[in-house]
């Protein structure tokens, strides 16, 4: 299909779809650092600035995609709902569809949108598509099935063709054997900025890579390595944890501070997730209607649902369409990363001591030992970093 990528960011959706054989013919992105990345990697693809100024889509476009701005829908954002000033930009998608009813639409957003404001944002979305004659399906998909990053996002697929979007999203499911916590054996990702109400704990993986602060301060997760060091990953490994090649976001440094690269990566769609979706768009599979159940009127939406043209139903399915083999996280990382500072370690431990959370046995002791080494000015051994770099 010919693709128009709205709210394109650094091209996660577009890159993954290209790997599945689709061709992007237009992008639209307003943030200058992201535009620099797009223009570097897709120099022959026109990149419009503001979706509000886009009068119409190219006549050959078959598929409109967009990771529309999630700030107002994110649990960590303003929770203003889909009518918020930024997330309300998704209304521009419907304006363009009213100009020409493009056969396929793919939207991506944070999973919190399913419960925000008693599901009102999601109802707004589905009603807008139904009014325009589209059938739809959505599913929460976890990037952990493809990469060592736990990241749940809603993939929403709508079409006015004869193909059932359920055969795109629900054809694949696997039940992976997720590893258990073993402090001495595996790496463990967590958010060092948390510790009171949550941790973002991930075994042999990192928690969801985030946008960072509104003033451009990077917010990388921490990783407790099996030998006891606590690091934050290098930006090049963060890019790889989203499925990009390393230094994908380097062009952003020509127009912005280097820390903006963390926001670009945190906002992106995981490339292999988009590739899987693109492959299923090209070759739909089967959907088992036995998975379906009646939707509750309580307001919160389930992790998957569909509209077949006459009724909405929930679908029982997990977030793992597949499980791609991968090395242990310590082996996945190509760069040593940055040791978590004594100040950051001390602040994190202080919060955990006030918290009522239960932590893995030995976890706080490991972080405390790391803090003591940092205070003493004792870094990791070269042999240990050589192991990590391999």
Q: Express each pLDDT in 117-155 by its tens digit.
A: 778 888 888 999 999 999 999 999 999 999 999 999 999
The number of CA neighbours under 13 Å toward the Cβ of 83 is: 5
Q: What is the pTM of this model?
A: 0.93
Is pLDDT above 80 for 302?
yes
Distances (CA, A) of 278 to 25, 65, 203, 212: 15, 11, 29, 29
The CATH architecture to which 2-176+269-315 belongs is 3-Layer(aba) Sandwich (3.40)
> In whole angstroms, what is the distance from residue 97 CA to residue 134 CA?
11
| Average pLDDT for the chain | 91
Mean pLDDT of 276-298: 94
Q: What's the average model confidence in pLDDT over 243-261?
A: 97
- Report CA dihedral (42, 45, 50, 55) to the nearest 10 degrees: -160
Q: What is the pLDDT of residue 314?
A: 97
Residue 52 pLDDT > 90, yes or no? yes
Instruction: Give the angle subtended at the CA of 49 by the CAs of 61 and 153, to the nearest 5°.
Output: 65
Instruction: Please tell me the least confidently modeled range out of 110-119, 346-355, 373-382.
Output: 373-382
Distance CA 292, CA 308 (A): 12
C-alpha distances in Å from residue 206, one per residue of 55, 146, 187, 332 = 41, 13, 9, 11
Q: How much is the CA Rg of the chain, to the nearest whole Å? A: 21
Angle among Cα 145, 172, 292 to the nearest 5 degrees reads 115
- Within 13 Å and on the Cβ side, how many CA atoms surround 110? 23
Quote the pLDDT of residue 124. Answer: 84
Question: In the prediction, which pLDDT does 83 show?
Answer: 64
Whether the predicted pLDDT of 86 surpasses 80: no
Asked about 70 being catalytic, the answer comes back as yes
Q: What is the pLDDT of residue 101?
A: 97
- Of 74, 69, 85, 87, the closest CA to residue 115 belongs to 74
Asked if residue 214 has pLDDT above 60, the reply is no
Helices 271-282, 12-19: axis angle to 10 degrees equals: 50
Q: Among the options 28, 47, 70, 322, which is catalytic? A: 70
DSSP one-letter string for 41-64 = H-TTS-EES-GGG-----TT--EE
- The two three-digit tokens of residue 303, written as one number: 């992790």
Strand boundaries in the chain, DSSP class E: 2-6, 23-28, 47-48, 63-66, 104-110, 135-142, 152-159, 188-190, 202-203, 222-224, 230-232, 292-293, 304-307, 312-315, 338-339
Confidence category of residue 187, pLDDT binned at 50, 70, 90: very high
Residues of the chain with CATH 3.40.50.150: 2-176+269-315
pLDDT at 112: 86
Confidence of residue 73 (pLDDT cuts 50, 70, 90): low
């Amino acid at each position: 299909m010919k693709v128009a990528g709205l709210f394109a960011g650094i091209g996660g959706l577009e890159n993954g779809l290209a790997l599945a054989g689709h061709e992007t013919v237009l992008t639209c992105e307003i943030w200058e650092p992201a535009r620099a990345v797009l223009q570097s990697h897709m120099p022959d693809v026109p990149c419009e600035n503001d979706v509000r100024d886009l009068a119409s889509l190219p006549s050959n476009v078959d598929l409109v995609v967009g990771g529309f701005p999630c700030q107002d829908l994110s649990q960590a954002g303003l929770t203003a709902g889909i009518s918020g000033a930024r997330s309300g930009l998704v209304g521009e998608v419907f304006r363009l569809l009213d100009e020409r009813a493009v056969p396929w639409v793919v939207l991506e957003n944070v999973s919190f949108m399913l419960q925000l404001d008693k599901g009102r944002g999601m109802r707004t979305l589905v009603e807008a598509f139904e009014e325009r004659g589209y059938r739809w399906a959505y599913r929460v998909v976890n990037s952990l099935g493809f990469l060592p990053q736990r990241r749940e996002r809603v993939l929403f697929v709508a079409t006015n063709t004869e193909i059932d979007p359920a055969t795109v999203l629900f054809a694949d499911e696997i039940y992976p054997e997720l590893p258990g916590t073993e402090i001495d054996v595996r790496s463990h990702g967590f958010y060092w900025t948390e510790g009171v109400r949550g941790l973002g704990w991930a075994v042999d993986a990192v928690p969801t890579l985030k946008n960072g602060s509104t003033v451009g301060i990077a917010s990388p997760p921490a990783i407790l390595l099996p030998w006891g060091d606590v690091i934050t990953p290098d930006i090049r490994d963060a890019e790889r944890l989203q499925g990009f090649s390393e230094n994908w976001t380097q062009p952003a440094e020509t127009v912005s501070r280097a820390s903006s690269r963390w926001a670009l990566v945190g906002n992106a769609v995981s490339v292999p997730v988009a590739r899987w979706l693109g492959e299923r768009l090209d070759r739909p599979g089967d959907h088992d209607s036995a998975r379906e159940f009646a939707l509750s009127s309580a307001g919160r939406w389930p992790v998957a649902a569909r509209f077949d043209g006459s009724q909405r139903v929930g679908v029982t399915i997990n977030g793992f369409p597949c499980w791609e083999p991968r090395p242990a996280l310590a082996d996945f990382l190509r760069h040593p990363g940055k040791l978590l500072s004594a100040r950051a370690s001390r602040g994190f431990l202080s919060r955990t001591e006030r918290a009522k959370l239960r932590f893995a046995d030995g976890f706080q002791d490991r972080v405390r030992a790391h803090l003591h080494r940092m205070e003493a000015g004792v870094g990791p051994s070269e042999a240990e970093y050589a192991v990590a770099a391999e």
